[in-house]
Each structure stands twice: as structure tokens, then as C-alpha cells.
Structure 1
Amino acid sequence: MKLNEIRTFVAVAEAQSVQEAANRLHLTQSAVSRLIQRLEAEVGATLFDRQSKPLALTRDGETALAHARRVLEAVDGLGEAFAGSGQPAGILRLGATHVLSRLLSGDALDDVRSSFPGLTVRLSSDWSNALLDQLDGGALDGALVLTAEDGRPRAELQGRRLSQEEISVVGAPDLVARTRGSLAAMNAVGWVLQPEGCRYRTTLTETLHRAGLRLNVAVESFDQELLLNLAARGVGFGTGPLRLVEGTPLAARLRPVAVDGFRLTVGVWLVRARHSGRLDRVFDGLERSLLRRLAPQPLGLVHSAAE
């Protein structure tokens, strides 16, 4: 099948009229009809219900339309990748692990949108490994992910480590004062954490296990900012890279606690697709924005001891 057949099919489907599609494509109505007939012969299916007014897709036609749009998007992307002097345009697909969503959607997003107004930014959030799978499979252009302290994302992907972040145990000031640094007392209050599979939760569970305690979860959520807000309200103790919310009203309502035996440092990485084409300029700017935001600042900790 040929690209002109696919483009014509999409035009007819969107216009719901052979005549209107012919006008848009600057073709005759008979030429459009022939191209559609050729495509139907090649795929072995009837794509339009020719008895309906306006012209409607058959079930097979709806399936074909989704594939046809992806084909045209890929073809257009191929052309854009070699149009070096032009501004990036279209959809920029960015992912961020749950805890970093706020970071990606802040000043860094504003910088991208102001520098590249032709881009529409599509944001998504997931676990780091799931985002890397999507990036590797072509579903994302780039992702902000976490790795173990000395780890790095998959070697086949382009990436840069932007910072290393210490994960803190945090709680509301009055709750920190009331529990007096006792890990058992903190566990009795309970924890607000992400579901199982989160590195923070795993490290905390192991710390409690060594102290002879079983993790007491009060609330679970994927939304890290929600969890920190719950911790600030005194619902329970939480964990997270507290430095990333410094300077916000939320940070003023939390106190970090240094729990004996709990130590976790993670790397923040910006990873991009292997062949980004013109989007390389976008990611270079995104890196600069994120590096400014991640400039190191000291934290003060309240110390506690395991029991």
C-alpha cells in the first residue's frame, strides 16, 4: 500500500465525505474513490459504510484509521528529524516517576513551553521501570526517573544523572515531638507510603524488621505530594526526597527525622530516546532547567533511634 492511499483514507474518514476530502487534497472525486478502493483491496476489508450519510467507517475502518494515523505520524516524525533548522513541533511525550512529577511539571515545563511554543507536552507518571519500558518501546520521548545510588538506567538509552537525593523520613512537627525519636512510637502512629514496589517502602520495611517491628501502613497512594500533605497533617509519617519540596508551604509543615538504620540515596536521571532528532534541543534545555532546580542545599535533621 502507498502513502497517498493512507493519507486519502484518513482525509475521507475525517471529512466524512469523498467530495470534501477531494477538495482538501486538491484531487478529483473519482481519484479519491479509486485510492480508497485500492486500499480496501490491499487490506482485504471494506473501510466505509457507503449507505450512511454522512459517510461512516465500518468496524474494520475504525481499526484501520488508528493504524493509518500512527503511520502518518511516524512518517511526519521522520521528516522532522532531518529538518535541522526548524523549530520542534508536535507532541512531546514526557514521563516522570511518581515522586518526580512535581519537579517535571514546574519551572522546567514552563521553560520548555516558552522556548518551544510549537510543542504540545503530554505528561504521564508511572514507576521508573515502566517508564523505561515505554521509552525503549517508543511510547515516550523522554522520562525523569530514579535509580539506586550508584546505578544508571539501561545502557542502551541516553541519560544524564542530574542529582543524588537523600530520602528522608518526615512527619508533622507536633508528631515528631510527641514520638520523641522512637521508631516504635512512629510505627504505632503509622506510615503514609506508596504501594509495595516502592524503593522507599522496601528500605523502611527492612529497617523496621531489623528493629523487630512490622510495618504499620495508615494510607497508601501513588501521589507523593498527597502523601507528604497527609504527613504534614499528622496522619502518619512519610518518606521522600524532602529537598525537592524546599521553599514550598508544604516543606514548612514537615520535619525530617534521621532514623537509625534507614539510609537511602537515589539518583535523579533524565533519559531520552536513542534518536531524538530535533528534540535533542528540547532535552538540552530541559536538562539545564532541572539542573538549576536541583542545585544542592543543606537539610537539618532531627535524630531518632531504633528500638
Structure 2
Amino acid sequence: MKITIENALSNYSFYENFIPLNVQNMIEESPEQFTVLGARSKEEYAGIVIAKKNIDLSLMRIHYIAVSDWNKNTGLEEMFLYLLEDIASVEKIRQIHFEYNGDRNEYFYYMDGLLRKNNWTSFRPKSFNYLLSRNGIMQELRYNKHFNSNNHLVFFEWGLFPANERLEVLRGEGKWYPHNHSPFNDDEKIEKSSLGVKLDGKVIGWFIIQRVEKQTIIVKSIFLKEEFRSAQNCIQLLIIGFIQTLKLPGWQYLILNLDDQNKQLQLFVERVLRRAVLNKSVEFISKKKVL
């Protein structure tokens, strides 16, 4: 059976229904940043892969890959990877990351083997993603019992952060915080009641939130400068952030993504907030240098 692989953005109406809604929204906001390859056999859908390019970081991230049931384990996924590597090489992109959300099932191990066969790194956990309920957070948190407050930390609303101080923090990107934790990503969408935290007058971290749907809040970034990243400080930032978020009306669900390195908060969420957790998923990552 002949498979045609094409630029799915040029035939978007055919592939649109096979793309998750949140990914559709990302593509529609900035289509020039995406490489979307679709596969079909005549008018039958076979598969799709979606990657986002960050030219400044010389990085391509594979956000989504899917093939139809009758095309799984047939080599179509491998062909998608080959083509993306070629595109990255032509566009002088140095590295590709493949981010995989799912269980450690048979397909997970198939993809892990496929990646390693083609000189990618083996899958490792990148982040732990929690869906929590508002009522559960309110019921589970006993604010005065779960942490000892560091009285030297000063919290402030991000929306009241002066422009001159924002510029100083902006200059720190890539130095003391990575791009994916920048509090300035999609700045216009951030809730003004997000929090920053200072120590001795200097910003050392933040708790940045965004409303993604009427009833859903996402914690876009919870971050502390490395030298201040004690368990006490991390838990205090999380709890104060939750207290602040609970002041916002209307939402019922909160999405919290924690880096794999953030063991203190993972432990806190899974022990102290365990009955507030409606769902937990793990995002895995594999990497390959192209140039």
C-alpha cells in the first residue's frame, strides 16, 4: 500500500480532525514555527507528526506523533523521524527533542527502541503532570501545619512588578533560569495575580499561572534560583502560590507540571495533596544532536 507523506499544513482540512485541540491552537497562533508532516494512503489517514522550531535555541521539539492502528509498528514513525532530522539539518537546527506523553506500555517500549536504534537517547522522565481539583486543594492543605515559613522571602503580585526590575530579570534568561521557565513567555496571557518572590530585594523566583479554559488554571512555571531551592523554600512557594490562586473565581481544576529534578515538590504533592490529585501523567524526553 503506497503511503504519501506531505506538508500537512498544505492539506490542513484533511488532517485537522486528527490533531489535538490544544495543539491546533498552538499551530494557528504561529504556523511559521511548526513543521507538520502528514501521511495518507489515497484518502485514508495514516499518521501525523508535529514539531515546533525554536531558531534562537537551535532546537526542534516533537510535540505530537500518531499513526493509525493499522500503521503502528510498520516503520512510519521511523520515516517521520528521518524526515524531521533532514529538515532540521537543512535549517541548521542543532538538536531535536522528542517529548512523549503516555504510559510505559508496549508502544512506549517500541518507540524507545526505535529511537535508540537511530542514535537518540533513551526515554527518561522530563516532568510529572498533575491535574488537581480546587475543592481537593482547599480540603487537603492545612497551611499552618505543612511547612515552616522562611520569613526572609517576600512575595509580590507579578502584575505590579515595576518595568525596570522586569528588565533586570529578563536579562537573566539563559544565565540563572532556562527559557522554558521564563516568566515572560506569552506574557500577555499570564494572570496578573501570579506571584514573584524576592530575597534581600532581589527576585529569586516566581509562581506563574494562566487560565487556559474557563474552569482550568495551569501553573506555567514554579521556579526558584538554584542556590535558594531548598525543600522549605520550594514548598512555601507552592503553598503561597496555591493560596493566591484560590482567590481567583470560577476555576475548578489546576494543572501542575513539575520537572523531574523537583523531587521535593513531587513528594509533597503525592503525600500531602494526594486526595486532590485527579490524574497524574509522566512526560518523557529523548534527544538527538543533528549538527
TM-score by length of 2: 0.27
TM-score by length of 1: 0.26
Please identify which structure carries the higher strand content. 2
The structure with the largest alpha-carbon Rg is 1
Please identify which structure carries the higher helix content. 1
